[in-house]
């Protein structure tokens, strides 16, 4: 097999962007598209025609796309509620699955995902693109080479002011609105947790044991925003929201590392993921593009001046520790979405499929990371009490070998 025929379900803002990244990979043929809305289906067709001049089949019903015999792999980029049901259906139809990120709606749903995989052995990958980002992979390489020592603490955040997107949900047909109205959760854990979990070898020799979450007073930021003139939907002026503006979650691993993550999407702020890895020999901080090894750090009085000089010093580590896939990326590939990480995740996905390699973010990672969402709700309902994180590998994590998402320099 030298080509793979892909069907894409969900042609909203993300689905259309994914089409561009996928079609930059010559081995990918987009043979079918599906969306609830006719105008979005047409946009998907137009994008495929522009790049490949060959119209894909169009399905209003996603199940028909999955059971189309020509479709070998299904890419899911829908509302959060549909990811797990669609992934399960596709696995039962023996269609390889790549699913966009989301949180699960129950721990049971994560188990159903694992069960469907174990019954069918159909390959499935969570499209957690931040695991493929340049700084995260450079840091992974530094960790694997022992430069940061014994890793004890990590932190990440999904810091993105989405007030406009959330409150525009009725106008833009977007799922975030109903989620923020009706539930309170760490609703988007994987961008920050995914790269950290890979570095800590979660589900491969290590696992999360428990987590505890706390949220700020629900709805405050959004309820203020709906009364502001920037809110495009006047029907929301008196709407209440169940979601906390900030949800802070602490996870503990079996190796007693502490991981903190924060959902931070409805107060004024700049975008940041705050990716931080701390070990006995040094630290890496993504937002500052900074790597600082022990011994580099001067005495306390000089620390602030020194810190300013260190900003953006991580580039110096690239020659020796950067993986080839980032060393060789072209400016055009960087343009394909999120600075190139979207393109790289599909390069890896298609390479694994065509060369029968295991997918690097598999069903156990997907089930575990997505389960953080319902577990965070449970913890908040219990006043921030710790709750257990299930072992979705059912003990197999002890034997499963570590697997980075790309090959790193030896």
The distance of closest approach from Cβ of residue 302 to ligand NAD in the complex, given in angstroms and rounded to an integer, is: 39
Q: Which CB, 59 or 350, lies closer to ligand NAD? A: 59
DSSP 8-state assignment for residue 272: B
Going from the C-alpha of 377 to that of each of 187, 188, 243, 383, 387, the distances in angstroms are: 9, 12, 10, 10, 10
The distance of closest approach from Cβ of residue 239 to ligand NAD in the complex, given in angstroms and rounded to an integer, is: 19
The distance of closest approach from Cβ of residue 394 to ligand NAD in the complex, given in angstroms and rounded to an integer, is: 27
The distance of closest approach from Cβ of residue 165 to ligand NAD in the complex, given in angstroms and rounded to an integer, is: 8
Helices (H), 128-269: 134-144, 163-167, 169-172, 176-182, 190-199, 220-225
Q: Which CB, 143 or 197, lies closer to ligand NAD? A: 197
The distance of closest approach from Cβ of residue 44 to ligand NAD in the complex, given in angstroms and rounded to an integer, is: 9
Nearest to 34 by CA among 67, 81, 80, 4: 67
Q: Which CB, 156 or 279, lies closer to ligand NAD? A: 156
Number of residue whose CB is nearest ligand NAD: 12
Q: Which CB, 62 or 397, lies closer to ligand NAD? A: 62
Contact predicate 13/165, CB 8 Å: no
* Dist CA 317 CA 146 (whole Å): 13
Q: Which CB, 190 or 257, lies closer to ligand NAD? A: 190
DSSP 8-state assignment for residue 302: G
Q: Which CB, 62 or 321, lies closer to ligand NAD? A: 62
Contact predicate 247/263, CB 8 Å: yes
Contact predicate 210/252, CB 8 Å: yes
The distance of closest approach from Cβ of residue 147 to ligand NAD in the complex, given in angstroms and rounded to an integer, is: 28
* Dist CA 14 CA 129 (whole Å): 12
Residues 6+ apart with CB under 8 A from 388: 209, 210
Residues that bind ligand NAD (CB under 6 A): 9-15, 34-37, 40, 62, 77-80, 82, 100-102, 129, 174-175, 338
Q: Which CB, 158 or 317, lies closer to ligand NAD? A: 158
Q: Which CB, 48 or 148, lies closer to ligand NAD? A: 48
Order across the sheet with 4-9: list the strands: 57-59, 28-34, 4-9, 73-76, 96-99, 124-126
Nearest to 198 by CA among 275, 123, 281, 107: 275
Torsion sign across C-alpha atoms 11, 13, 17, 18: negative
Q: Return the bridge partners of 251, or none.
A: 211, 259
The distance of closest approach from Cβ of residue 136 to ligand NAD in the complex, given in angstroms and rounded to an integer, is: 13
The distance of closest approach from Cβ of residue 14 to ligand NAD in the complex, given in angstroms and rounded to an integer, is: 3
Q: Which CB, 83 or 262, lies closer to ligand NAD? A: 83
Going from the C-alpha of 80 to that of each of 68, 83, 106, 348, 373, the distances in angstroms are: 23, 6, 12, 24, 12
The distance of closest approach from Cβ of residue 295 to ligand NAD in the complex, given in angstroms and rounded to an integer, is: 37
């Amino acid at each position: 097999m030298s080509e793979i025929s892909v069907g894409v379900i969900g042609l909203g803002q993300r689905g259309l962007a994914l089409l561009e990244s996928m079609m930059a990979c010559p081995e990918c043929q987009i043979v079918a598209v599906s969306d609830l809305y006719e105008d979005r289906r047409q946009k998907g067709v137009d994008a495929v025609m522009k790049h490949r001049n060959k119209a894909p089949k169009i399905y209003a019903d996603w199940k028909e796309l999955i059971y189309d015999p020509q479709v070998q792999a299904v890419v899911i980029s829908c509302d959060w509620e549909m990811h797990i049901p669609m992934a399960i259906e596709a696995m039962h139809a023996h269609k390889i699955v790549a699913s966009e990120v989301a949180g699960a709606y129950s721990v049971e749903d994560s188990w159903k995902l694992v069960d469907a995989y174990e019954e069918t052995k159909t390959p499935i990958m969570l499209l957690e693109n931040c695991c493929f980002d340049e700084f995260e992979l450079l840091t992974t390489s530094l960790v694997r080479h022992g430069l940061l020592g014994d890793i004890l603490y990590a932190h990440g955040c999904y810091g993105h002011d989405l007030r406009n997107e959330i409150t525009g949900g009725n106008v833009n047909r977007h799922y975030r609105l109903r989620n923020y109205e009706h539930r309170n959760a760490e609703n988007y854990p994987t961008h920050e947790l995914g790269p950290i979990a890979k570095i800590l070898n979660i589900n491969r020799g290590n696992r999360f044991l428990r987590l505890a979450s706390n949220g700020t007073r629900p709805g405050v930021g959004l309820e203020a925003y709906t009364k502001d003139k920037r809110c495009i939907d006047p029907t929301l002026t008196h709407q209440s929201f169940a979601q906390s503006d900030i949800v802070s979650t602490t996870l503990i691993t079996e190796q007693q590392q502490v991981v903190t993550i924060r959902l931070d999407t409805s107060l004024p702020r700049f975008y940041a993921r705050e990716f931080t890895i701390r070990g006995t020999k040094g630290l890496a901080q993504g937002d500052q593009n900074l790597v600082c090894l022990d011994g580099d750090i001067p005495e306390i009085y000089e620390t602030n001046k020194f810190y300013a000089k260190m900003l953006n010093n991580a580039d110096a580590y690239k020659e020796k520790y950067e993986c080839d896939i980032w060393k060789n990326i072209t400016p055009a590939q960087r343009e394909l979405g999120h600075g190139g990480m979207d393109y790289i995740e599909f390069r890896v996905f298609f390479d694994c499929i065509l060369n029968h390699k295991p997918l690097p973010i598999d069903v156990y990672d997907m089930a575990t990371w997505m389960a953080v969402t319902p577990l965070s709700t449970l913890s908040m309902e219990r006043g921030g009490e710790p709750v257990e994180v299930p072992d979705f590998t059912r003990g197999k994590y002890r034997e499963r070998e570590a697997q980075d998402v790309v090959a790193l320099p030896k």
